């Protein structure tokens, strides 16, 4: 199919669904007004029941924590599948292997890029930790903070060198870190059952509303998500960058 034919087909499809899009937009409730009662119920009861001020974290880690556990295990499975496929395709074992850029020239980094990365790396990582620690109080949480920290570690590669970044980022360490995060979430479900409570039911002190330590088991689940997401994203970055390298034995990637 030619490029012109693809554009014509895309335009026809857009015209066909345009009336449905207009109808949906016209029937949407006004901003701030929704027809469902669940959001209002959460806003009324969460602070009193869970002593947290971030309703999203309360929903994710308490009211529907079972769904969050499933989503996190799906993420772990997706990361694990990616690692197995990429490492296996390169003919590598699951342990770290040093890699080189083959015969391609390595461009020198400018001093400005290096300085910017050195300045922003600790800032980004610190901000990621802040987002994780305040999941029960303000928007954010383990997933968002983990993604921020993982992205920040990439500055080590951008500002320094692949060799330094790879020397500091060990796959085995982050494999164990990701597994630990998943285990923490599972134990948050099984632990309360040992005390006669329901799966993932909060059995820890709720603390004082607005304090850094509040929300009970929400804090533990959030920490598990932070570990799994941070490690999972870093492992993906490692494997994607490995795809641009050549192994020491001369095998291409």
Asked if residue 7 belongs to a domain, the reply is no
Asked if residue 1 belongs to a domain, the reply is no
Asked if residue 78 belongs to a domain, the reply is yes
pLDDT at 242: 83
Asked if residue 23 belongs to a domain, the reply is no
Asked if residue 31 belongs to a domain, the reply is no
pLDDT at 150: 95
Residue whose C-alpha is closest to residue 38's, from 25, 50, 55: 55
Residues near 235 by beta carbon (within 8 Å), at least 6 away in sequence: 79, 83, 171, 174, 175, 178
pLDDT at 24: 93
pLDDT at 91: 57
pLDDT at 93: 52
Asked if residue 21 belongs to a domain, the reply is no
Asked if residue 17 belongs to a domain, the reply is no
Structural domains counted in the chain: 1
Beta bridge partners of 214: 207
Asked if residue 238 belongs to a domain, the reply is yes
CA dihedral 51, 54, 56, 58 (to 10 degrees): -10
Residue 93 lies in domain: 53-247
Instruction: Report the SS3 class of residue 74.
Output: helix
pLDDT-flagged residues of the chain (< 50): 94-95, 98, 250-253
């Amino acid at each position: 199919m030619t490029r012109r034919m693809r554009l014509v087909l895309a335009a026809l499809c857009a015209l066909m669904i345009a009336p449905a899009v207009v109808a949906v937009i016209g029937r949407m409730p006004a901003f701030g007004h929704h027809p469902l009662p669940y959001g209002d119920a959460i806003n009324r009861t969460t602070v009193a029941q869970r002593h947290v001020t971030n309703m999203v974290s309360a929903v994710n880690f308490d009211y529907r924590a079972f769904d969050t556990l499933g989503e996190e295990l799906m993420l772990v499975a997706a990361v694990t599948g990616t690692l197995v496929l990429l490492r296996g395709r390169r003919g590598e074992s699951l342990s770290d292997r040093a890699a080189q850029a083959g015969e391609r020239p390595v461009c020198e980094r400018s001093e400005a890029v290096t300085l910017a990365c050195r300045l922003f790396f600790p800032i980004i990582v610190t901000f990621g930790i802040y987002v994780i620690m305040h999941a029960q109080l303000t928007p954010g949480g383990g997933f968002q903070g983990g993604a921020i920290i993982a992205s920040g570690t990439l500055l080590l590669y951008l500002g320094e060198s692949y060799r330094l970044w790879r020397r500091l980022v060990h796959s085995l360490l982050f494999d164990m870190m990701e597994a630990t995060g998943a285990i923490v979430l599972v134990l948050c479900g099984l632990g309360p059952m040992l005390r006669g409570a329901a799966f993932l039911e909060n059995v820890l002190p709720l603390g004082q509303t607005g304090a850094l330590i509040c929300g009970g088991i929400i804090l533990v689940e959030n920490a598990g998500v932070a570990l799994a997401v941070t490690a999972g994203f870093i492992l993906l970055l490692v494997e994607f960058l490995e795809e641009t390298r050549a192994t020491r034995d001369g095998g291409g990637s």
